[in-house]
Amino acid sequence: MGNHILVTGGAGYLGSVMVPELLNAGHKVTVYDNFIYGQNSLAHICHSPNFNVVRGDVRTKDKIAPLLKDVEIIIPLAALVGAPLCDSNPVGAKTVNHDAMLSLFNLVGNDQPILMPTTNSAYGTGDENSPCTENSELRPVSSYAKEKVEVEIALMKRRNSISFRLATVFGMSPRMRIDLLVNDFTYRAVHDQFIILFESHFKRNFIHIRDVTRAFLHAIDNYEKMKGEIYNVGLSDANLSKKELCEKIQQYVPRFIFNEAAIGKDPDQRNYIVSNKKIENSNFSPIYSLDSGIEELVKGYSMIRNSKYGNI
């Protein structure tokens, strides 16, 4: 017997992949989303009697509160995601990413589990040679990451919560984002055929969007063992520098040219590698490799050539 799950922001990049899989796993799902991008990425599941959708803003307490009475699990995906978007709209970012989340935590009952994506960008400027664990010092650089850290602290004060510090996500989605690093570099390889890299040695960890969904399903199935904990979620064999990522993409797009800038700074100063052993020790293993994701994106970009597929 499945659970009734509320997914805020369920029509976004992550939710548009996750919600159909939650339904396939036998759960009932209510999506609460403001459809800010005009997307219809969940249209193909409207036939399901176990799917319901409510249009609304996560900041509207009076509208979201009644929905919480009928659900067993909350997955809050609603957010303005990424440093550039948050920097361009700092008030909106704070009210959605921070204030609305703290309000939601106060509305949710103590016995209702919250499974929430946070971000491993909180490691910021970690040691690029020593993997960051869930106990590592947090050094967030952007306002987006700083607010996510504050929200995670509040989340983990609850007794029924799990935080997933997601690596940089990649892969195709019905509500596509091409502004994420792997998605962006592959798009440039396919359509522009070149890129200039600043501080190409900076490293980051990566995870396929479908493995993110699998991590949430894994946590639902193993909730009693996993609750009250923070988990890094990434590919352990994909702690790569930007240059290494470009070399990987070049294997699938041979005409792709990348050059390293001799001077200049990347506005994104994140540089770290991550250990994902904790969630792997819970018997979870990603199944989508970086290579398969790049191949997937190359196919997908034969259909996409439009700047609307981003958050900025």
Mean pLDDT of 179-189: 96
Mean pLDDT of 10-21: 98
Residue 11: closest CA among 36, 37, 42: 42
State the number of CA atoms in the 13 A half-sphere of 252 facing the CB: 22
> Rounded distance, CA 189 to CA 34, Å?
33
User: Is residue 80's pLDDT more than 60?
Assistant: yes
pLDDT in tens, 86-106: 778 888 888 988 899 999 999
Least confident residue range of 96-100, 202-206, 233-237: 96-100
Is 48 inside a domain boundary? yes
Whose CA is closest to 10, among 49, 39, 2, 197? 39
Contacts for 58 with CB less than 8 Å, ≥ 6 apart:
8, 9, 32, 34, 64, 76, 78, 96, 100, 104
CB neighbours of residue 105 within 10 Å: 18
Residue 189 lies inside a defined structural domain of this protein: no
pLDDT band, very low/low/confident/very high, at 157 (cuts 50, 70, 90): very high
Whole-number pLDDT of residue 307: 62
Residue 222 included in any domain: yes
Q: Which residue has the higher pLDDT, 82 or 294?
A: 294
Looking at the structure of the chain, the number of domains it has is 1
Spatial contact of 211 and 173, defined as CB atoms under 8 Å apart: no
How is residue 66 written in tokens? 């009644």
What is the rounded CA–CA span in Å between residue 123 and residue 149? 10
Nearest to 276, CA basis, from 132, 126, 115: 132
Can you tell me which residue has the tokens 């293993």?
285
Q: Average the pLDDT over each of 3-17, 117-131, 184-198, 209-223 and give the range with the smallest value.
A: 117-131
268 versus 144: which is more confidently predicted? Answer: 144
Minimal CA–CA distance to 42: which of 59, 21, 63?
Answer: 21
265 lies in some domain: no
Cβ neighbours of residue 298 closer than 8 Å, sequence gap 6 or more:
186, 189, 190, 252, 253
Angle at CA of residue 210, ends 70 and 226, nearest 5°: 55
Percent of the chain clearing pLDDT 90 (strictly above): 79
| DSSP for residue 143 | H
Examine residue 251 and state whether it is found in any structural domain, yes or no.
no
CATH code of the domain containing 210: 3.40.50.720
Q: With bands split at pLDDT 50, 70 and 90, how would you rate the model's confidence at 283?
A: very high
Looking at the domain assignment, is residue 132 inside a domain?
yes
Domain that holds residue 11: 4-170+206-235+274-287
| Neighbouring-strand partners of residue 76 | 8
Q: How far apart are CA 189 and CA 297, in angstroms?
A: 11
Q: Tens digit of pLDDT for each residue in 28-77?
A: 999 999 998 889 999 999 999 999 999 999 999 999 999 999 999 999 99
Asked if 161 and 223 touch (Cβ cutoff 8 Å), the reply is no
Look at residue 145 and tell me if it is in a domain: yes
Q: Tokens representing 222?
A: 């193993």
Q: Is residue 293 one of the residues assigned to a domain?
A: no
Confidence of residue 311 (pLDDT cuts 50, 70, 90): low
Question: What is the DSSP-derived secondary structure letter of residue 138?
Answer: P
The answer to whether the beta carbons of residues 232 and 134 sit under 8 Å apart is: yes
Distance (Å, rounded) from C-alpha 148 to C-alpha 161? 15
For the cut 80, the answer to whether the pLDDT of residue 84 exceeds it is no
Helix and strand element counts for the chain (H, E) = 12, 12
In this model, does residue 312 exceed pLDDT 60?
A: no
What is the share, in percent, of the chain residues with pLDDT greater than 70?
Answer: 96
Predicted confidence at residue 266, as pLDDT, reads: 74
Which pLDDT belongs to residue 143? 83
